[in-house]
Amino acid sequence: MEVQWVGVESPRLGPPQRAVGVIFLILLGVWSAQALEMSVGKINQLEAVNGSTVLLPCTYASCIGIKNLYFNWQFNNNGTMQKVCESVIKDEGVVPDVTIFRERVEFIGMNNHNNVSILLWNITFEDGGKYTCYGSNPKEKGRNHSAIFTLIVVDELRVVDNTLATMIASAVGGAIALLMGFMLLKNFTLFVLSKLEEKNKECLVTSSGIDNTENGLSGSKADSKPTPKKK
């Protein structure tokens, strides 16, 4: 069954409406670029020895700045999120008053360079797991973001076996050295052959001159007899 629309025309946007639409899209793109971002760095995983002290890094960034930025650290304890610490940063450069919910935790970020990192003292195997750094910025209409840092607690650090890497590097270095030696030998051989060829050409020219001289040909140094005069 075909449905027909009677008396209804599709809306057409005039130049003013199109201009407003373009401006809206531009503002939307700028707004997306200004969104709050929490970061734990390029390396988001750490392997540490039981009983050591570790740093859990986190920084925030916002193109339009912050106002009453709320942040917290949470620990994923077998699927249950437990708060490690939390606070509100009133403005740029203001040191926050941080509330800590777990033992052996110290806030060291102090909001210097947008830093909200924490220290875990004397870690145990129970401290291993995923830690989430979360932030929400009211200045960006409550935009929020989070980043996850994974801590692995071990008895002792593993020794990385570089034998294979060393063998590969040695093989590659040997191949390069062999190639360079071959190129040098090739160039030397071509140089010697060119010199021998030049010497052979000189010998051929010299021997040809000697033969002509001995046979009394033109250009030779043999005495020529004068033509007898007619009486």
**From the CA atom positions of the chain, what is the Rg in Å?**
43
How many Cβ atoms are within 10 Å of 86's Cβ, its own excluded?
17
Give domain limits for the chain.
35-154, 160-208
Residue of 183, 163, 182, 161 lying closest to 171 (CA atoms): 163
Quickly list H helices, 63-221.
163-214
Q: What is d(CA 112, CA 73) in angstroms, rounded to the nearest whole number?
A: 17
CA 82 vs CA 108, 114, 117, 189, 209: distances in Å: 20, 23, 17, 76, 105
Extract the tokens encoding 77.
Answer: 């304890």
pLDDT computed for residue 138 by the predictor: 96
- What is residue 204's three-state secondary structure? helix
CATH architecture assigned to 35-154 = Sandwich (2.60)
Average pLDDT, consecutive stretches of 10 residues, N- to C-terminus, the chain (231 residues): 46 56 44 76 96 97 94 95 97 94 95 94 96 96 95 84 69 78 79 75 61 51 54 51
Residue 85, Cβ density class (10 Å: 0-12 exposed, 13-18 middle, ≥19 buried): buried
What single-letter amino acid sits at 178?
Answer: L
CA 10 vs CA 15, 20, 89: distances in Å: 16, 19, 51
pLDDT computed for residue 66 by the predictor: 94
Extract the tokens encoding 91.
Answer: 């403005």
pLDDT computed for residue 206 by the predictor: 61
